[in-house]
Structure 1
């Protein structure tokens, strides 16, 4: 830990960094924050994040819930420590995978593996930048991969966000399919075949011409990895940007998109205006649906007329 000696750390963050004060009293039998977190992770891995409670963890360890509160004073702190445990550290193989693109791709793959191994982590709300040791280690590894590039520190962080965002989205999708396989007793091949059949039955060339063309081309049965393809093309774009920077040219950075103004979010007239926009968008979608149906009907009538003549 460095700097800011007057900073009062939240209890969960202090526990993660190992600088929280130990409880003065505790159960006679051995108890520790580490044991509590390990037990909670085991419950989440087996039953999901919703199954984790102080009572459930205490029961698994053979203690009373009050015993746990001497070590972890709030469930939010416990979830933070569980996330830290599940995140782990990047492997040595990933840290030395090759050039910056190879290292970032390896970091991406390893993060996806962590999400698939502990899918409940994806349910933990994002409330800000990570401030725990393992999370910091992943960030440091990504920035280290870009250390010898001509990018600024801000640009390196932006590239890291591209990689971690891709990993999280891939993890969400793969964890969902994994859950579907487990709950439905189907293999991944079975699920994709069923999805392809469903799309072929529902998607028409009249209503969705480009999607239908993709379906006919077999995109939902293709075995290549669309997520890695997207990441690699994104990194190719970063490489092209590096060439621009190396030539001494400057590119204007886009300002951060502002979040909706919280000061007016509860204003009645503002809420009514937002609802009116949503209603109008829905009406437009419905009108376009009617238009497509009318076009199909017109084609059918014209075909019948031609047939009768």
Structure 2
């Protein structure tokens, strides 16, 4: 048994059944060992979750960046989003402090490399890293829960089992909601109609990312 086998097994369990399904007992059983044997490698479940998080952020970082910092920061954000997309349970891990594990530090270092020539101080650069990673995390957290709600028919309305589209068509009329109604009719309000055509993770994520980068670009230009 190796530490990598333990972490990979825990990730497989979390990918299938969620973070709450991960336990030292289940991981040990999946590997054919006793729980006590697992503790020789990992002191606690909290440590195991930390190792899982670091393992899935093993992003392939390019050796060189392109000439356009904005293009590079977009690639950075998309790679972060891909991790949350592939492993939805990442959203359930609370922030316990600044990143200190190897892969997390590699990612931060990559982002700082991209911004190395920008007229920003260290605190501003770190704030941008936090802003972009938060955008990916929050969007995926929201999208994951909305996907679950759509799939199970759960929603905030009084009639369980009714689809979002059916509920909106019934509730949102032009007389009651004159400005919301055309948005609903266009299919832009319901998560069942999320537009991913030409967008890696949906229009809302890409639109938000582009506007964040617009703001950063404007701020950078103001300091030149």
TM range, normalised to the smaller chain?
0.7 to 0.9
**What is the TM-score normalised by the length of structure 1?**
0.61
Aligned residue pair count:
206
Deviations 1:68-116 (Å, cap 9, x if unpaired)? 11111111001100111111124328x6355111111111111111111
1:118 aligns to 2:73 (yes or no) = no
How is 1:42-61 mapped onto 2 (pairs within 5 angstroms)?
42-61=12-31
Q: Which residue of 1 aligns with 2:99?
A: 130
Q: Of 189, 204, 220, which aligns to 1:242?
A: 220
1:227 aligns to 2:197 (yes or no) = no
Q: 1:97 to 1:205 in 2, by over 3 A?
A: farther
Tell me, which stretches of 5 or more residues in structure 2 are unaligned?
154-162, 197-202
Q: Which residue of 1 aligns with 2:3?
A: 33
1:159 aligns to 2:137 (yes or no) = no
My pick for the range that moved more, 196-205 or 230-239, is 196-205
Q: Which residue of 2 aligns with 1:5?
A: none
Q: Distance in 2 between matches of 1:243 and 1:110?
A: 26
Contact 1:39 1:61 in 2 (8 A): yes
**What is the TM-score normalised by the length of structure 2?**
0.82
Q: 1:144 to 1:208 in 2, by over 3 A?
A: farther
Q: 1:36 to 1:222 in 2, by over 3 A?
A: closer
Contact 1:115 1:175 in 2 (8 A): no
Q: Distance in 2 between matches of 1:86 and 1:181?
A: 27
Deviations 1:145-194 (Å, cap 9, x if unpaired)? 1111111111111111121111112222343355467768xxxxxxxxx5
Q: Of 79, 88, 102, which aligns to 2:49?
A: 79
Contact 1:41 1:82 in 2 (8 A): yes
Q: Distance in 2 between matches of 1:90 and 1:173?
A: 26
My pick for the range that moved more, 194-203 or 139-148, is 194-203
Q: 1:182 to 1:96 in 2, by over 3 A?
A: farther
| TM-superposed deviation, 1:238 | 1.3
SS in 2 for 1:92: coil
Contact 1:116 1:174 in 2 (8 A): no
Q: Which residue of 2 aligns with 1:199?
A: 168
Q: Which of the pair has the greater relative contact order for Cα pairs under 8 Å at 6+ separation?
A: 2
My pick for the range that moved more, 194-203 or 60-69, is 194-203
Q: Distance in 2 between matches of 1:227 and 1:78?
A: 30
Deviations 1:1-54 (Å, cap 9, x if unpaired)? xxxxxxxxxxxxxxxxxxxxxxxxxxxxxx222211111111111111111111
Tell me, which stretches of 5 or more residues in structure 1 are unaligned?
1-30, 185-193, 247-309
Q: Distance in 1 between matches of 2:133 and 2:104?
A: 11
Report the structure number with the largest CA radius of gyration: 1
Q: Distance in 2 between matches of 1:198 and 1:138?
A: 42
CA RMSD of aligned residues (A): 2.3
Q: 1:207 to 1:122 in 2, by over 3 A?
A: same
